[in-house]
């Protein structure tokens, strides 16, 4: 019979089933874990943690196979917080950098604004326009996709409210009830004189 050499166990998901295949006869089986504890007497075994597992097949004539082993390697969905981001905004090259040190033991790739979009290995996005972005972090071992919103703040440097339809209004981008929910806005004239201060509370 055959057995895969390795497979992945996602620590955030239910137990997995590993199985033997292509048997050359009608066998009985015995699965043991690293502590030689029997965990199954079937062609397959339910695995709930990483480790090395061994299976031996016995023929109807009582002949035992050589032991086959499978290594169960762990992975996990990413764990992410706002502290894991470095954001450069209100600049000529707005960017988001994800710190990968606290994500977990998985093998991760990254996308923004589309969980089905193009993922990249580099935890860095640049040349971003101001706004709220959703960052998706996908475990390559199929343990899941984590997501979190990140703010890139930005605003026009001037406005001319003269009703000519050009630059009549002014708005801060990248803010909502979760990001910069309170703001102080200072408006100056072209000579640098303070005209007014607006205290915004969302």
Q: Closest by alpha carbon to 142, among 52, 32, 7? A: 7
**Per-residue model confidence (pLDDT) at position 202:** 53
Q: What b/e string do you get for 71-105 counting C-beta neighbours within 10 Å, with b at 16 or more? A: ebebbbbbebeeebbebebeeeebebebeeeebbe
Note whether 53 and 39 are within 8 A (CB): yes
**Per-residue model confidence (pLDDT) at position 134:** 97
Q: How far is CA 9 from the centre of its chain?
A: 16
Q: How far is CA 7 from the centre of its chain?
A: 20
Note whether 197 and 184 are within 8 A (CB): yes
Distance CA 189, CA 165 (A): 20
48 Ramachandran zone, left/alpha/beta (phi>0; psi -120 to 50): alpha
> Could you tell me the pTM of the whole model?
0.83
**Per-residue model confidence (pLDDT) at position 67:** 97
Q: Angle at the Cα of 167 (from 165 to 168), degrees rounded to 5? A: 65
User: In the β-sheet with 124-126, what is the strand arrangement from edge to edge?
Assistant: 85-88, 95-98, 124-126
User: Over its length of 202 residues, how does the chain's per-residue pLDDT go in tens digits?
Assistant: 999 999 999 999 999 999 999 999 899 999 999 999 999 999 999 999 999 999 999 999 999 999 999 999 999 999 999 999 999 998 889 999 999 999 999 999 999 999 998 999 999 999 999 999 999 999 999 999 999 999 999 888 788 888 888 888 888 888 888 888 788 888 888 899 999 998 876 5
């Amino acid at each position: 019979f055959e057995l895969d050499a390795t497979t992945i166990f996602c620590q955030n998901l239910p137990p997995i089933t590993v199985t033997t295949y292509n048997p050359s006869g009608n066998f009985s089986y015995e699965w043991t874990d690293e502590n030689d504890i029997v965990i199954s007497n079937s062609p397959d075994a339910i695995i709930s943690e990483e480790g090395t597992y061994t299976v031996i097949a016995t023929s109807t004539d009582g002949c035992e196979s050589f032991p086959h082993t499978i290594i169960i390697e762990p992975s996990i969905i990413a764990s992410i917080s706002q502290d894991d981001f470095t954001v450069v905004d209100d600049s000529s090259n707005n960017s988001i950098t994800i710190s990968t040190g606290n994500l977990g033991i998985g093998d991760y790739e990254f996308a923004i604004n589309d969980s089905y979009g193009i993922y990249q290995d580099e935890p860095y996005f640049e040349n971003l326009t101001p706004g709220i972005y959703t960052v998706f972090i996908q475990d390559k071992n199929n343990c899941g996709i984590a997501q979190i919103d990140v703010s890139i703040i930005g605003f026009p440097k001037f406005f001319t409210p003269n009703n000519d339809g050009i630059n009549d209004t002014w708005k801060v981008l990248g803010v909502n009830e979760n990001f910069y929910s309170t703001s102080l806005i200072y408006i100056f004239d072209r000579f640098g004189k303070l005209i007014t201060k607006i205290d915004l509370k969302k």
